[in-house]
């Protein structure tokens, strides 16, 4: 296995507080860093889920190492309720993994030339399929909504004018030129938000997150912990709203706006505000800089 270390590892393990004879779900197995740390913290069992077949293949060495305590499943974490029984903890590390990002052939990075793919599962519509077939309105809408890119219409026009677009370096150059010289003075690369938008769209990441949170709610035992690490505002907003809606922090009715129905909270918020990485972690792993960790504990039904 690689020496890949996931973001906020110690904070996640502290949040889950693994116990002997308990069972946990690592919904985004990736390089196996969370799974390994959970299994080393207690004599417990872990189900690791990943929709990337490369991640499942890499993880077989870890399966052998923890003989009988780690099981891997190829699939989406939104299906965890059909892949696992009642669980004592769930961890989700959202977004693209370092392995995916650092492999040019996967097409996630604008810094390494490769085919414009971006599919986490290696199946279905690729980013190239989408950018070469979408009309201007659809393409601009995805870039604006999922990339929070203010120049989305200009970028969409540039992409359509340059089609076919088949490689990551080609797309990065198109977007950079469309952004203009002023964008080069900003801290982030001019193509960052466009690549984010296409990746989220191709993998339906926000829909997967919404379904995954609901699945986690259904599999967690009372007192089980849910730990979610997100990397941008769209993800964090969904996690925050879901946990607030289902927690003891949900707003109560008043005489001006009474509750439409009474509902027992399903979660107790462990982190009222999201935790963020330490300065030391950001210095050693710049990709961690935007990470936010939210934790909640399942209450009895």
Among 171, 203, 235, where does a domain finish? 203
Quote the number of domains for the chain. Answer: 2
| Contact (Cβ atoms closer than 8 angstroms) between residue 105 and residue 119 | no
CATH number, domain at 253? 3.40.50.150
Cα separation of 226 and 220, whole Å?
8
pLDDT in tens, the chain (301 residues): 444 568 999 999 999 999 999 999 999 999 999 999 999 999 999 999 999 999 999 999 999 999 999 999 999 999 999 999 999 999 999 978 888 888 899 999 988 899 999 999 999 999 999 999 999 999 999 999 999 999 999 999 999 999 999 999 999 999 999 998 876 667 788 999 999 999 999 999 999 999 999 999 999 999 999 999 999 999 999 999 999 999 976 555 545 545 544 578 999 999 989 999 999 999 998 889 999 999 999 999 7
Say if residue 88 is in the same domain as residue 216. Answer: yes
Q: By C-alpha distance, which of 191, 55, 201 is closest to 119?
A: 201
Cα separation of 183 and 177, whole Å?
9
Could you tell me if residue 163 is inside a domain?
Answer: yes
Say if residue 198 is in the same domain as residue 213. Answer: no
Among 152, 174, 203, where does a domain finish? 203
Could you tell me if residue 232 is inside a domain?
Answer: yes
Say if residue 223 is in the same domain as residue 182. Answer: no
Among 143, 176, 203, where does a domain finish? 203
Cα separation of 112 and 108, whole Å?
9
Say if residue 18 is in the same domain as residue 139. Answer: no
| Contact (Cβ atoms closer than 8 angstroms) between residue 208 and residue 51 | no
């Amino acid at each position: 296995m690689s020496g890949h270390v996931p973001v906020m590892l110690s904070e996640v393990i502290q949040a889950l507080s693994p116990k002997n004879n308990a069972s946990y779900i690592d919904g985004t197995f990736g390089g196996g860093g969370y799974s390994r740390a959970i299994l080393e913290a207690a004599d417990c069992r872990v189900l690791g889920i990943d929709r990337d077949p490369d991640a499942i293949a890499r993880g077989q060495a870890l399966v052998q190492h923890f003989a009988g305590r780690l099981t891997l499943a190829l699939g989406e974490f939104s299906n965890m309720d059909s892949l696992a029984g009642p669980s004592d903890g769930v961890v989700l590390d959202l977004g693209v993994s370092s392995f995916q990002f650092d492999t040019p052939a996967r097409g996630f990075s604008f810094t390494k030339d490769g085919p414009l793919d971006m599919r986490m599962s290696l199946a279905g519509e690729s980013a190239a399929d989408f950018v070469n077939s979408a009309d201007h309105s659809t393409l601009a809408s995805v870039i604006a909504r999922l990339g929070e890119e203010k120049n989305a219409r200009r970028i969409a026009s540039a992409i359509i004018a340059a089609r076919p677009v088949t490689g990551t370096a080609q797309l990065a150059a198109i977007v950079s030129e469309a952004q203009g010289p002023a964008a080069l003075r900003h801290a982030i690369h001019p193509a960052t938000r466009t690549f984010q938008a296409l990746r989220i769209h191709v993998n339906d990441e926000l829909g997967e997150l919404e379904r995954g949170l609901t699945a986690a709610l259904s599999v967690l035992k009372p007192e089980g912990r849910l730990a979610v690490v997100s990397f941008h505002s769209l993800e964090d907003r969904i996690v925050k709203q879901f946990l607030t809606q289902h927690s003891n922090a949900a707003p109560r009715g008043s005489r001006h706006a009474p509750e439409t129905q009474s509902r027992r909270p399903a979660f107790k918020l462990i982190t009222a505000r999201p935790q963020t990485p330490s300065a030391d972690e950001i210095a050693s792993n710049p990709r961690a800089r935007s990470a936010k960790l939210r934790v909640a504990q399942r209450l009895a039904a």
